Amino acid sequence: MTRLIIFIIILLVLGTLLEYYTFQALKTISKHKFLPFGFLFASIAVYTNFIITALTYDRSNGQTPQFQMAMGLLLTFLIPKLFIVILLFGEDIYRWIVKAISAISSQETQPLAGRRKFISQLALGIAAIPFVSFIYGIIQGKYNYKVIKYQLSFDDLPEAFDGYTITQISDIHSGSFTNKEKIQYGVDLINEQKSDLLLFTGDIVNNKADEMDNWIDVFAKLEAKEGKYAILGNHDYGDYMQWKKPEDKVDNFEKVKGIHKKIGFDLLLDEHRYLEKDGQKIALLGVENWGKGFNQAGDLAKASANVNKEDFKILMSHDPSHWEHKVKKDDFNYHLTLSGHTHGLQMGIEIPGFFRFSPSQFVYKQWAGLYQEYGRYINVNRGFGYHAFPGRVGIWPEITVIELKKA
């Protein structure tokens, strides 16, 4: 609660600065008082809604869709205004410098009203881009599923698996869902890939097993020719909410593990399975969550027990920091690692082949897409669902299809 109060105080201080400059910008370009005051009242309503929601929602239920929407609206109104403050505050600094020089030199300054209006128009025009993007991201972007395909070649891939296809999904976060028709569309799109194997790399819920109750019938329809396998993600352990009793957390964790069986997935808990085809085989390994600095439950050695070093290996590990800090240099040679977790922060800019940016890259070296080091690959899936922010801006929900080829 103390951290929440501190956050609200910071929010109010920052909000005051943002609203002051936004009000000035709207007042400068508008002949009517309705526009600046109307936008100010709307912003106050958004702040009030978030503060009331944050102070009153039951933390024993974790993040609810209502809390996420309050957070989404807050970010939608806050982030675009940062551009307004940067431009107008910068113009203020310039104006103060000019006045200081003028006072020292005893020269008269030129009227600045015209430039102020131009800067205000420019700032509002730039701010409109993220504002509209956030609105789109909340309404439609979170369902803008993209199928991303890769073809990867390996010298030591058994010939029987040449052309073998894998669909990877990650980070379902069922507790955030509100639209069954849209989720069904995503599931149908997964099935349309008709892959040999379907792999899910963790975070089936936000916190509680019952979040999945209304979605089991949808995800039970997922199909794959050779089988469906899953691992756990950091949210599946129930670490991010307040439990009334320790036994409740333990019971919930067992139920989360049971969800995977209900929807037809073989859950790998520091285990491996051999996939066989025409007398040849590859090893599929799955570890519990291992994250840099938190929840390092995954045991790679245990999962690899009785797997031969020369076997072709596919590893499922939810957090890509596991690959960066433990897997990629391992002499046991894990050919392909599949991860998720980052969501690409659900915000960013991606122009395929030209430019990629997300704040997520300041935390994770491998934050979205395919990476190769030391002759080994990792794919970081951007996630099927969403969490915290109830939308996606520029970083769309992903269905990955990987075709294995014999080099």
| Helices 65-105 and 113-139: angle between axes, nearest 10 degrees | 170
Q: How much is the pLDDT for 76? A: 95
Task: With cut-offs at 50, 70 and 90, classify the pLDDT of residue 222.
Answer: very high
Residue 174 in 3-state DSSP?
A: helix
Please state, as a whole number, how many other Cβ atoms lie within 10 Å of the Cβ of residue 56. Answer: 8
Helices within 193-271 (DSSP H only): 216-219, 246-262
Per-residue pLDDT for 178 more than 90? Answer: yes
Rounded Cα gap, residues 283 and 281, in angstroms: 7
Domains annotated on the chain, with CATH? 2-139 (no CATH), 146-406 (3.60.21.10)
**Which two three-digit tokens encode residue 167?**
């669909």
Q: What is the CA radius of gyration of the chain?
A: 25
Q: How far is CA 209 from CA 130, 178, 179, 359, in A?
A: 35, 16, 19, 30
Q: What is the mean pLDDT of residues 163-177?
A: 97
| Single pTM value for the model | 0.91
54-58, 88-92, 310-314: range with highest mean pLDDT: 310-314
- 104 pLDDT more than 80: no
Rounded to whole angstroms, how far apart are CA atoms 2 and 57?
A: 15
The predicted structure's pLDDT at residue 115:
77
Helix (H, G, I), strand (E, B) or coil at 386: coil
